């Protein structure tokens, strides 16, 4: 509960903070300045965590039965939208992982959108997140570059990603994760 409270306090304070991008490598300075611009000029988003689907053939039945697939939680984001509808955004989320332990993540995402009809559009993009899970390296944050897909209608989106199995062993990876986003402002 203390981690949840601390994380929520940090997420709420994010818009009030400035980022110092000096004294970095050139590529890091450019990335830092981009994140700072989104933080200062971006519009607000509400994220509502939703569902984690575990590929059935990747896990033993006993393990699947122990999993929480209702990944309840939420977060906040800031986005910049370009004239063509594409977006960049930064976000922070806390959600219940497969073991119902808190999973904390912050990240940057770039999405390209294509109109379908009316206010409906589909998108694809990439995210680079720092994720902290108790069952992965004892909660030490680790980087996670992931692909994303989105379906957007007006200001509401359903977004999803796929977390692949990396080591070829049973009982990890091959998880599809879905959440909702509402764009304020």
- Show which residues are catalytic: 54, 97-98
* CB-CB contact of 11 with 92 (8 Å): yes
Distance set, CA 164 to CA 18, 58, 86, 174, 180 (Å): 35, 10, 26, 4, 21
For residue 33, count other CB atoms closer than 10 A to its CB.
13
Distance set, CA 132 to CA 3, 105, 137, 142, 165 (Å): 11, 6, 9, 7, 17
Query: From CA 85, how far away is CA 114, in angstroms rounded?
Result: 8
Q: In 3D, which of 48, 47, 51, 49 has the Cα closest to residue 175?
A: 51
Q: In 3D, which of 4, 47, 13, 77 has the Cα closest to residue 160?
A: 47
């Amino acid at each position: 509960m203390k981690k949840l409270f601390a994380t929520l306090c940090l997420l709420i304070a994010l818009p009030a903070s400035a980022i110092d991008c000096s004294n970095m490598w050139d590529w890091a300075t450019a990335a830092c300045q981009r994140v700072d611009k989104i933080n200062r000029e971006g519009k607000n988003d509400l994220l509502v965590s939703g569902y984690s689907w575990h590929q059935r053939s990747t896990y033993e039945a006993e393990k699947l039965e122990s999993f929480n697939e209702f990944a309840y939680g939420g977060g906040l984001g800031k986005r910049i939208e370009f004239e063509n509808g594409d977006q960049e955004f930064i976000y922070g989320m806390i959600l219940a992982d497969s073991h119902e332990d808190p999973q904390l993540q912050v990240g940057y995402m770039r999405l390209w959108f294509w109109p379908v009809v009316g206010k409906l559009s589909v998108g694809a993009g990439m995210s680079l997140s720092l994720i902290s899970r108790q069952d992965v390296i004892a909660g030490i944050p680790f980087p996670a570059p992931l692909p994303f897909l989105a379906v957007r209608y007006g200001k509401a989106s359903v977004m999803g990603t796929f977390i692949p199995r990396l080591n070829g062993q049973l009982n990890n990876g091959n998880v599809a994760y879905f959440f909702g986003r509402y764009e304020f402002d």
